[in-house]
Amino acid sequence: MNKKNILLLTGSPRRNGNSDRMADAFIKGVLSAGHKVTKFETARKDISGCRACKTCWSKGKPCSFQDDFDELAPLLEAADVIVFCTPLYWFSFSTQIKAAIDKMYAYVGKSCKRSLNIKESLLLVCGADEDMEVFDGIRATYQGIAHYMKWEDKGVLAVPKVNEKGAIEATDALVKAEALGLALRV
């Protein structure tokens, strides 16, 4: 089996919240499949938004402004698979995970010095609303990013009707998240 290096970015500031539990279920699946996984909790890091200075790499590192993206950059460069696991905030990604995504500009812009080897991606997202249409925006954004980056979309798990911390335990989402992780076997 081809052992994959999976980078899982979480977006929630809530410890052991719904998306965090989904991330851990997914990790259980990928570990059973024999892969290596790194969980990077963007909401526990200090990553500011891209300032569009277009000076990526001018100081020898992806972003000219020092923050915890310096810690994320080598993980991105080593990853084969990237997973975004976020609560739905205003029909989209949480600000914390979006800031990390924005700084990936260093790997696509004109001044790009290094490329990423990521081949596959997934999105795990949960929200309070019961209407599945509320996920249309984040799904389209994620799929746009995956298409632009030439990542093969390995799945979107969108979980409605979870609001209180732990509410996800009463759904089948954790079983589904684990199965998605396990499915990365092939």
Ligand X SMILES: Cc1cc2nc3c(=O)[nH]c(=O)nc-3n(C[C@H](O)[C@H](O)[C@H](O)COP(=O)(O)O)c2cc1C
What string marks each residue from 27 to 66 as x (binds ligand X by CB under 6 A) or -? Answer: ----------------------------------------
- 90 contributes a contact to ligand X by CB under 6 A: yes
Give min distance, CB of 181 to ligand X, in A. Answer: 17
Q: Dihedrals φ, ψ of 42, to 5°?
A: -60, -30
Nearest position to ligand X, beta carbon:
17
Looking at beta carbons only, is 18 or 121 nearer to ligand X?
Answer: 18
**Minimum distance from residue 9 beta carbon to ligand X (Å):** 13
> Would you count residue 12 as binding ligand X (CB under 6 A)?
yes
Helix (H) / strand (E) element for 174: namely: helix 173-183
Handedness of CA 77, 108, 185, 136 (dihedral sign): positive
Strand arrangement, sheet containing 120-126: 36-41, 5-10, 81-87, 120-126, 152-159
Give whichever of 40 and 151 is closer to ligand X, judged by the CB atom: 40
Give, to the nearest 10 degrees, the angle between helix 18-32 and helix 173-183.
Answer: 40
Q: Taking CB under 6 A as the criterion, which residues in 150-179 touch ligand X?
A: 162-163, 165
* Rounded alpha-carbon distances, angstroms, from residue 112 to 79, 104, 182: 17, 10, 34
- Least Å distance between CB 173 and ligand X? 10
Under the binding rule (CB under 6 A), the answer on residue 24 touching ligand X is no
Query: Is 25 a binder of ligand X (CB under 6 A)?
Result: no
Q: Which DSSP category does 53 fall into?
A: -
Q: Is 172 helix (H, G, I), strand (E, B) or coil?
A: coil
Enumerate binding residues for ligand X (CB under 6 A): 12, 14, 17-20, 87-91, 126-129, 134, 162-163, 165
